[in-house]
Amino acid sequence: MLTYTPLTLDPDRILDVDPCIFWAGECTKPLFDSLQGQGQLQPVLVQKSSTGYTLVAGYSRFQGLKKLGKKIYALQTEDPGPWEKGLIYLSSNLGRIPDTLMLVRAMRYFSPLGKDLQQIYLLLGISRGSRQERQLQAWTRLPHEWDGALQHTPQLLTCAPDLANISHSDLDTLLPFFQDLSWSLNNARKFLDLLRRTQQPENLPIEEVVTRLALDKILAGELSPKDKIRLILDSLGRAAYPEYFRLMDEARQNINSLVAGTAWNCTHSDNFESPGLELRVRVHNRDELQEVSRQLKSIASSTHLSPWPVYPHE
């Protein structure tokens, strides 16, 4: 069991840059007000270093007291190694509920230390052998720059096993798409799947696919994020499944021609998953009803229905 020695230190004698502080956050206003009004009610934890002391736990409290110019009440630990310091820090933050990014940061700290992670899993609420564990382990193989993408797309963690199999040069090309856009899980999976299918015939690097399809120009354009994602997926889909999209476009053109010049609207409500068409019309009197009835008879005999039903998904 570690022992602790109480100390009172000037803030400038404490360094706050140890990697074990993997959930560092600035002092919140409620905490700052409490420190200002009631003073320091809990100590920070420090370790002796060659230049003074290094903070091991209590980052937010330390930042608030430093801003107030107050002396710091601290407990000095013995000389713990990286594993013990990480455990001290994690144990001192048990009241926090870690989000996806926090879990990743903790795993990035502990995984390289080469020890059994079961104790860490218990503290973080991770089940050994679970899908979550595999996803977190896969994410730690990605460059650190990818962690920022989890801030606005935390569900991207689900794609970690696929991302971990992509080369680092291709990951560099992909990163801006996840830094600048917030993806649903379904769209993120579709994006990666369509990229892979577009690469396969010629074994193209992702950078070549992005350049050929001008996906980087779409990303840098002035469309809304939602429209950018739609256009990126459409461009990749057309490259990955050209015949499918040709049939889809042809079917849409026939539908548009079918009702051109009439009051009727014709749609495929399920995006051609089935052959069914929906015909809709709005009328206000008997004369209009008779007119649209004549139009419907003309639609039923139109040559534009010759290729119907179509099954582009087959």
Tens of pLDDT, residues 246-275: 877 887 888 888 889 999 988 876 666 677
Which region holds residue 223: left if phi is over 0, alpha if psi is between -120 and 50, else beta?
beta
Same domain, 123 and 214: yes
**Does residue 135 sit in the same domain as residue 208?**
yes
Indicate whether 252 belongs to any domain.
Answer: no
pLDDT value at residue 48? 92
With respect to residue 77, please indicate whether it lies within any of the assigned structural domains: yes
Do 52 and 142 lie in one domain? The reply is: no
156 and 139, same structural domain? yes
Q: What is the average pLDDT across 231-249?
A: 89
Better-scored residue on pLDDT, 275 or 124: 124
Residue 58: CATH number of its domain = 3.90.1530.10
- What whole-number distance in Å separates Cα of residue 289 and Cα of residue 293? 6
The predicted model gives 145-173 an average pLDDT of 94
Q: Same domain for 146 and 55?
A: no
Please tell me the total count of domains within the chain. Answer: 3
pLDDT, position 204: 92
* Domain that includes residue 301, residue range: 258-305
Are residues 68 and 137 both part of a single domain?
Answer: no
Compute the mean pLDDT over every residue in the chain, rounded to the nearest whole number: 91
Average pLDDT over residues 163-170: 94
Which pLDDT band holds residue 186 (cuts at 50, 70, 90)?
Answer: very high
- Which amino acid appears at position 176 of this protein? P
pLDDT band at 43 (very low <50, low <70, confident <90, very high): very high
Report the predicted TM-score, pTM, of the whole model to 2 decimal places: 0.79
Q: Are residues 26 and 50 in the same domain?
A: yes
- Looking at the fold, whether 71 and 197 belong to one and the same domain comes out as no
**Does 190 map to a domain?**
yes
